[in-house]
Chains A and B, each alone.
Chain A
């Protein structure tokens, strides 16, 4: 089966990211495919490239990266929700006259249309909020 996940919960504030990652591991272990993770609402903070958690806690951004690297999962961040919350890639940072950027590949800023596509083009979309 082809799965997509929608993550609305902020990292370390809520269980959402942890649960989503465990679910991702479980579905991949059973031979399913995880095509897309879409980050919306406070979930956009999962992409924060300066995330620096204490060493005895899971590094959530690195966990997402390993999904992209090992399973070709696309990590898509809603651009409207992201910009409001200070999640800017290099291009958006330049466009808004900001120094530095807070989001980079393999995370990508995309429109909400990608959430709609992920919802309809996969066998299942599971929301973690």
Chain B
């Protein structure tokens, strides 16, 4: 499943390029403001010139499905924020493959952003490649 979108991993210890800040997004786009406030933290860090990575895990993978718009509950959707990521130079987006599988999703469902699918040991390597991790 992780064939199509997995970027080549070069070098030692699963070879993730080093970065300043990894932002983990563990909540879906609706029901709480975690996802939105996490994305905002990532974008501010990128705007400050930091090398930022995003890891979608847990229910956070739901943000990558199309159509997360403003809903009848009045919460802003996450689509507009995700669309702005590239403008902020947040280009390193990763998805926890196990979290996708657990929700009956495949790489084909993730069309909103170019992402790299990671298996568990690669997720662990990712967290060590970044000097700091913020979890939302």
Contact = CB atoms under 8 A, between A and B. Distances in A.
A113 B52 CA distance: 13
B132 A80 contact: no
Contacts of A6: 134
Interface stretch (B32-40, B60-68, B85-93, B97-105): B32-40
Interface string A13-51: 000000000000000000000000000110000000000
Interface string A91-122: 00000000000000000000111011101100
B5 interface: no
B19 to A, nearest CB: 11
Nearest to A127: B135
What is the predominant secondary structure among interface residues of chain B facing chain A?
mixed
A41 B44 contact: no
A77 B27 CA distance: 22
A74 B97 CA distance: 39
B70 interface: no
Interface residues of A, number: 17
Interface in B22-55: 33-34, 37, 40-41, 44-45, 47-48, 50
A81 interface: yes
A11 B129 CA distance: 34
User: 7 closest pairs, A vs B, by CB?
Assistant: A112-B44, A116-B45, A119-B132, A113-B44, A116-B48, A41-B37, A112-B41
Contacts of A120: 20-21, 50, 131-132
A129 B26 CA distance: 13
A41 B136 CA distance: 10
A81 B44 contact: no
A53 B131 CA distance: 39
